[in-house]
Structure 1
C-alpha cells in the first residue's frame, strides 16, 4: 500500500511502501491453520457438517461440468446410422430371448432355494432392493480410486458402506454421503477389501485393491486350490456385500517355494472405467428387524 504525504508549501510527493508480514511468517501461519483443521476433523464431527454444506453448494458445478459429456453421449446416439441401429436392435432381441430363458430357470431355482432356506430355518432372505444412479465425477488422484454419484441421503436413504454394482459385478461401496450426491470407493483402491470366495470350490479369501486396476488375494498358501480363470464372487461375510455377486476373475497365480503365500492377481469383472450407471444395493438383511439381523447383532456386540 502506498501512502502519499504532501508537506505544506511543497509540491514534493513522498510515497512510502508499507510491507506486510514476511512470506515465512505467512507460510508458518498457514501450516498452523492446516494442522488445527486436520486435528479438529480427526477428533470431532464439526468439519463433516461443513463439508456436507460445501458439497451442496458445489453440486450444481459438478452437474454443469458433467453436461458436456452428457451432450456428447446424446449427440453420438442421435447421429447413429439406421443400419447400425437395426443391427443393435437385432442383437438386443437375441440377448433378450436368451436372458428370458435363463430368467425362467433362475426364478425356479430362487423359489426352490427360498423354500429350502425356510425348511432349514436359515436367517438369510432372498431379494435385495436396488436403485439406479449416474456418475457425476471421477477422482483424478492416481492414488485414490473414487467416483461421485448423483444420489444422496435426502430422498434416497443412502448410507455409508452401502455396496454399488454395475451390470457385470461389484464396483465398490459408499464412503461419504451428502444430501444430493455420494462418494464411492472402488474395489481397486488400496484401502478397499472385499471378502470373496472361489465360485468353483468355495475357497474363501479377501480381495484387496492394488491401486492399478486389479485386486490381489492375500495370505493364500502356495497349495491353495485356485487357478487362472476362476471366478471370484462375494461371500457375504463382513455384512457389507450380499453373497453371490461377481467380483473378479483370476488372471495370475505365482507360487514361490521360498515364500509362505502365493501371489494371486485378479481383474474386476465390473467395468470400472466405462460404466456411467451403477446400481445401489440394499442387502436383504438390512430390511430385517435389529433382533433378527445378524449383522446388527454383531455390530451391537462389538460396540459393547
Structure 2
C-alpha cells in the first residue's frame, strides 16, 4: 500500500510538471474504452427492455404527441425559412460575409467524473472521429462544454458548470459582451465584471460571442436568473442558469467550427483576425462599445 501511494504521488507530480504524460493518458484511455462500454451496457439493455415491454397504449399516446410536435416544428421551420431568406437579403444589402452551416457529429455519454469538485464527462467519440481538444460540445438546448482530452475511441469534456471553465458571451437582446464562468454547481453560472449601469435584466438570453475563435457565435449558453445591484459597488452580481440539460442529456453534438483566417505578422508571429471584431471596427455592427 505504501509503495502504491508513493507511486501515485510521483505520477501526479510528473503529470503536473511535465507534458510527457499526455500520450500515456491517451493510451490508457484507449485501453479503458472497452471497460467504459461494458459499464454502460446494462443501462442500454434496461432501456431496450423498457421499450420492448412498453404498453401499446403508452406507445400510441407517445406517437400522438410526436405527431403534434412534428406539426409544430414544421410550422416553425416554414417561418424560419422566410426569416432566413430575409436575413440573406439584408446581409447582401450590407455586403456582409455569408454565414455557413457548421458541420458536426453526434456523440453519446459514456460516464461522468466521480470527483464531486469537478464537472467532467466521457463521450464515445475520439481521435478516429476527428475530435480535437477545445472542440465545442452541444446538446439539444445549448452549449454543454468543450473537449479537454482525446484518446482513440473516447474524449473527456469539461462542462460549462465547472469552476475552472469560462467563455466569452454576449446578451442576445442588445449585444453587450461579458465573460461567464462556472460556479461548481450544475444549475448556476456567474457573469463576471458586469458594470452596475449595464443594461442586463433577468430573463436575458446569453449566447456565445464568437470572440477568441473557440466557440462559434450565436449558440445559447445561459439565461439570467438574478441581477443584484449593491450600493457603492462598481459591479453588479449577475447569476445565470445554463440552458443545456447538463444532468440529463445523454446525446450530444460535437461542432467543427471553421478556422479563423490568419495573417502573417512581423517577426514570424501570427495574427488571428476575428470577423466579428473587424465588422465592429468598420462600423457595420453599430457603434463601438468597450469590451470588459
Structure 1 length as normaliser, TM-score? 0.80
Q: 1:96 aligned to 2:38? A: no
Cα deviation digits, residues 152-204 of structure 1 (max 9, x gap): 011x1111000010111110000001110000000000111121111122221
The match for 1:113 is 87
Q: 1:129 to 1:291 in 2, by over 3 A?
A: farther
Query: CA offset at residue 111 of structure 1?
Result: 4.4
Counterpart in the other structure of 2:172: 199
Which residue number corresponds to residue 24 of structure 2? 50
Q: State the match for 1:11 in structure 2.
A: none
Q: Which of 1 and 2 has greater Rg?
A: 1
Residue number among 112, 137, 143 corresponding to 1:138 in the alignment: 112
What corresponds to 1:157 in structure 2? Answer: 130
Q: Who is 1:167 aligned against?
A: 140
What secondary structure sits across from 2:185 in the alignment? coil
In the alignment, the residues of structure 2 paired with residue 118 and residue 37 of structure 1 have an alpha-carbon distance, to the nearest angstrom, of 57
Partner of 2:285: none
**Could you say what the CA RMSD is over the residues aligned between the two structures, in angstroms?**
2.5
Report how many aligned residue pairs link the two structures: 267
Alpha-carbon distance in structure 1 between the residues aligned to 2:64 and 2:84 = 30
Alpha-carbon distance in structure 2 between the residues aligned to 1:124 and 1:162: 23
Distance in 1 (CA, whole Å) between partners of 2:12 and 2:32 is 21
Which whole-Å CA distance do the structure 1 matches of 2:114 and 2:169 have between them?
28
The whole-number CA distance in structure 1 between the counterparts of 2:192 and 2:153 is 36
Q: Per-residue deviation at 1:227?
A: 1.5
Deviations 1:51-90 (A, max 9, x none): 1111111111111111111122222222222222222211
SS in 2 for 1:183: strand
- Alpha-carbon distance between aligned partners in 2 of 1:111 and 1:43, rounded to the nearest angstrom: 53
Report what 2:255 is aligned to: 281
Question: After superposition, what is the alpha-carbon deviation per residue over 1:7-57, rounded to whole angstroms, capped at 9, x for unaligned?
Answer: xxxxxxxxxxxxxxxx9xx57x954x5555344334443211111111111
2:156 to 173, 183, 193: 183
Find the aligned partners of 1:270 and 1:81 in 2 and give their Cα distance.
31
Q: Render the CA deviation track for 1:235-267: whole Å, top value 9, x for unaligned.
A: 111211111111111111111113221111111
Q: Does 1:238 align with 2:212?
A: yes
Answering whether residue 199 of structure 2 is matched by residue 229 of structure 1, we say no
Question: Contact 1:235/1:242 (CA < 8 Å) preserved in 2?
Answer: yes
Aligned-residue offset at 1:219: 0.4
